[in-house]
Amino acid sequence: MKRRAFLKSAGAGAAAAGAGLAVTGVAAPAIAQSQPEIQWRLASSFPKSTDILFGASELIARRVAESTDGKFQIRAFPGGELVPGLQVLDAVQNGSVQCGHTCGYYYVGKDPTFAFDTAIPFGPNARQTTAWFQAGGLELMRAFMKNYNVIQFPAGNTGAQMGGWYRKEIKTVEDFQGLKIRIAGITGQIMSKMGATPTQIAGADVYPALEKGTIDATEFVGPYDDERLGFHQVAKYYYYPGWWEGGPNVSLYVNLQEWEKLPKAYQSILTAACAEANTYMIARYDAENAKALKRLIAKGTLLRGYPRELMEQAHKIAFEYYDELAKTNPNFKTIYESWKPFLDETQLWFRVAELPYDNFMATNSSKK
Amino acid sequence: MKRRAFLKSAGAGAAAAGAGLAVTGVAAPAIAQSQPEIQWRLASSFPKSTDILFGASELIARRVAESTDGKFQIRAFPGGELVPGLQVLDAVQNGSVQCGHTCGYYYVGKDPTFAFDTAIPFGPNARQTTAWFQAGGLELMRAFMKNYNVIQFPAGNTGAQMGGWYRKEIKTVEDFQGLKIRIAGITGQIMSKMGATPTQIAGADVYPALEKGTIDATEFVGPYDDERLGFHQVAKYYYYPGWWEGGPNVSLYVNLQEWEKLPKAYQSILTAACAEANTYMIARYDAENAKALKRLIAKGTLLRGYPRELMEQAHKIAFEYYDELAKTNPNFKTIYESWKPFLDETQLWFRVAELPYDNFMATNSSKK
């Protein structure tokens, strides 16, 4: 019941809420407020080496400083420096940092509902994700996250990711049986139901495990980040698409008490900075992934598409699993009942204008 | 020669420039600056009735006011109130307004290079457009626009548009011969080379002209905006995709002297507000177009895809035309030589991760 209560008030105002302006509301009256000096620490889940992911938090910090003549300072720390990358939520919740740049799906162990903050298999693409937040999804997610003493701001998206590095080709559903793949969370659950053996290995151990064949496959992000980890040196086949990450959102989590202490103008500036980070991250990934993909192919990487029958099986298992979760978890149910119809409705529209255009451009350019 | 000179310095710094941070640079030192009271007028090219297009400029105004405790006020005026919608550039250039929210392709009569600011036929989709700006395109465009006393900020995108309303079906290239379609700019030129008769009609006269058959077809934006104009009542066939507007960007044009007069913090706040408008506009269109499309279909609108051979012919003519323009117009050439390779390179990446994901989701959801 308690879980239900916090979501009750979320529905009514959802339609009116703009993604960026939901919290700060209408224009502030022209009354001068002081500009206090404020210093925050931001714990990122991402290492410096993933410079686009980490760069987005640096952009937020820079934008906030510039917009306040340096009075509101945020210092961004890479994953692991203040807290381990997967414990950013906890650090924000208990106030040991004021904010963190992270992905909700790292915290599905606490509640699978967190996954809607980032991505779940066969979920919306990047544009649909942003549109859903805008159309009421953000308000629902914030009502949920309030339970964790957090207010959340969409602040980055990677676009559709790749489907990982494989030592052997996957030609049929059978090839997935017993496959040892390094993957976690809801996708791990689904792959397990498909007969694979999801494995959890610490970041630094993935490369040697793949090299030795202790695991058969691993996934990470996309060409730009993956190339740096060198997976192409120990696994030949690079699969697409990452059907569990069609448009993963990265969020800024802010401790609620710290948020409420901010002057209205600083709240407004931080909100806009997060929206800018959203635009920045995907734009950089789109440009850099394109270049990195060309380099990987030149180095001998072989691109392979997941067999359609495998994706169809995964899709079926995924939505059966979500239906089950919705039956037992009221938080998940509340979000899912907004998220799923939105996904279906926007899909229809994307099929009409966006996809035929993109497909024409893709097939036409391929002829040259 | 003069036209060439302004572009010379644009190349070197392009790679380092973030779309949002190109102008304001690194974090400002922590020296207190005054917060002067500043009032600006913003001339939009768009009427209030296109509430997402106009809404983006209202969002910019609101964000800037909130972020400065109301000290920097921008008042947004709908198209036609201060200046005609297609003369916003001139008003910004001569300083009669401080800024305007408009589309570069309205000004191709001055120089076809302006089209790169918005969209040209068979150009990048929304994500590619933003990524190109980020990867150096914005710096090139700004070098060009400096000639018009303007600094430009991407501040909205509609996503791929629809291909317009037709009284009769277009089944072959022959059906395009002599077709009277209301369309302007570069697309008009291309359609003319394809045998159609592009026609210019003032906004208010389009509906009666289509009703009477004075014109055979017209184009506007997408389901949400088009529905309000009621074209579905006088033309049955709604074509997709709008191959001349794969991801049109809308920009804020700011008068250069007014920009330079702003305190650094206000410049920073305005820059972030424009980035937020970018996220806002496409998210709202994606949500609202989806709903409007369903309503239009329920009202009897028949969706039709442009014949592939017609699009292939248009594509060929388009790029021949761009190659011609690049030969005679050095501004166009400079931009085109950055834009075209970027389009081709990112296309390759989109074909691998994004499109297979989107296509799977589209075809899978269609089975239900």
CB-CB contact of B214 with B137 (8 Å): no
pLDDT exceeds 90 at position A14? no
Q: Which residues on A lie below 8 Å from B73 (Cβ)? A: 30
Give the A:B interface size as CB pairs under 8 Å: 320
Q: Is residue B101 one of the residues assigned to a domain?
A: yes
Residue B113: pLDDT band (50, 70, 90) is very high
Pairwise CB contact (< 8 Å): A355 & B358: yes
Residue A320: per-residue pLDDT: 97
Pairwise CB contact (< 8 Å): A21 & B62: yes
CB-CB contact of A209 with A201 (8 Å): yes
Q: Which residues on B lie below 8 Å from A139 (Cβ)? A: none
A245 is in an annotated binding site: yes
Q: Is residue B368 one of the residues assigned to a domain?
A: no
Percentage of chain B lying above the pLDDT 70 cut: 90
Best A238, A286, A350, A368 residue to mutate vs chain B (most B CBs within 10 Å): A286
Average pLDDT score over chain B: 91
Distance CA B255, CA B91 (A): 9
Q: Is residue A280 one of the residues assigned to a domain?
A: yes
The CATH number linked to B63 is: 3.40.190.170
Residue B365: per-residue pLDDT: 58
pLDDT exceeds 60 at position B12? no
A219 is in an annotated binding site: yes
Mind listing the pLDDT tens digit for each residue in A265-310? 999 999 999 999 999 999 999 999 999 999 999 999 999 999 999 9
Please tell me whether the interface predicted TM-score (ipTM) of this complex is above 0.85. yes
Q: Is residue B112 one of the residues assigned to a domain?
A: yes
Written as six digits, the tokens of B259 are 């920009």
Q: Is residue A271 one of the residues assigned to a domain?
A: yes
Q: Structurally, how many domains does chain A consist of?
A: 1
Q: Which residues on A lie below 8 Å from B223 (Cβ)? A: 349
A93 is in an annotated binding site: no
pLDDT exceeds 70 at position B203? yes
Residues 249-308 of B with CB under 8 A from A: 264-265, 268-269, 271-273, 275-276, 278-280, 282-284, 286-287, 289-291, 293-294, 303, 305, 308
Q: Whole domain around residue B69: which residue ranges?
A: 38-159+247-287
Pairwise CB contact (< 8 Å): A286 & B127: yes
Q: What's the number of CA atoms in the CB half-sphere (13 Å) around residue A157? A: 31
Task: Give which of A104, A51, A44 is closest to A74, Cα–Cα.
Answer: A44
Mean pLDDT of all residues in A20-33: 42
Distance CA A52, CA A46 (A): 9
Nearest CA in chain A to B70: A30
- Local structure of A358: helix, strand or coil: helix
- Type of residue at A326: A
Q: Is residue B151 one of the residues assigned to a domain?
A: yes
Q: Which residues on A lie below 8 Å from B33 (Cβ)? A: 69
Residues 6+ apart with CB under 8 A from A100: A42, A43, A44, A45, A88, A89, A91, A92, A252, A253
Q: How far is B62 from chain A (nearest CA, A)?
A: 5
Q: Is residue B239 one of the residues assigned to a domain?
A: no
Q: Is residue A115 one of the residues assigned to a domain?
A: yes
DSSP A222-259: -HHHHHHHTGGGT--EEEE--TT-SS-EEEEEEEHHHH
Mind listing the pLDDT tens digit for each residue in A317-355? 999 999 999 999 999 999 999 999 999 999 999 999 999
Residue A34: pLDDT band (50, 70, 90) is confident
Distance CA A86, CA A144 (A): 19
Residue A135: pLDDT band (50, 70, 90) is very high
Say which of A280, A282, A361 has its CB closest to residue B127: A282
